[in-house]
Structure 1
Amino acid sequence: MSLFYVNKNAQDNGDHEVHSASCSYLPKKENCHPLGYHTACSTALTAAKKVYPKSNGCYYCSYSSYTAPE
C-alpha cells in the first residue's frame, strides 16, 4: 500500500495530478490533498475524482492511471 495525494493546483489542461508520497514530482505539502493509502493508483485516482472530477495519474509515479492530454 502506498500513500497518495492529489495536487490542489490544476495543470494547464485542467487536470489535477495524483501522486504517490514517494514521487519526486510531488508538489509542496500545502498544495496536496491527501487521498489516503491505496493498493493501486487506480483506486487513488477514483478517490481524487470525488474531490477534483478532472484528475489524472502522474506520468512518473502513477503511469498506469495516466492519460496523455489531447
Structure 2
Amino acid sequence: MSLFYVDKKAQDNGDHEVHTATCTHSPGVKNCDPLGYHTACSTAVNAAKEIYPQSNGCYYCSYSSYTSEDK
C-alpha cells in the first residue's frame, strides 16, 4: 500500500497528475491534495477523478495508470 497525492495544478494538457508520497517528480505535498493509501495507482487515480475529473497517473511513479497521449 502506498500513500498517494494529486497535483492541484493541471499540466498543459489539463491533466492533474497522481503521485506516490515518495515520487521525486511530485510538486510537493503543499501543492497536492491527499488521496490516502491505495493498493494500486488505478484506485488512486479514480479517487483523484472525484476531485479533478481529468486526472492521470505519473509517468515515473504510477506508470500503469499513465494514459497521456504523449505516452
Shorter chain as denominator, the TM-score bin is over 0.9
Unaligned runs of 5+ in 1: none
Residues 22-31 or 36-45, more deviating: 22-31
Aligned residues: 70
Q: TM-score, normalised by structure 1?
A: 0.95
Q: Provide the aligned C-alpha RMSD in A.
A: 0.9
Cα deviation, residue 52, structure 1: 0.2
Q: CA deviation at 1:22?
A: 0.8
Cα deviation digits, residues 26-67 of structure 1 (max 9, x gap): 112221100000000000000000000000000000000001
TM-score normalised to structure 2 length: 0.94
Trace 1:43-62 onto structure 2 (pairs within 5 A). 43-62=43-62
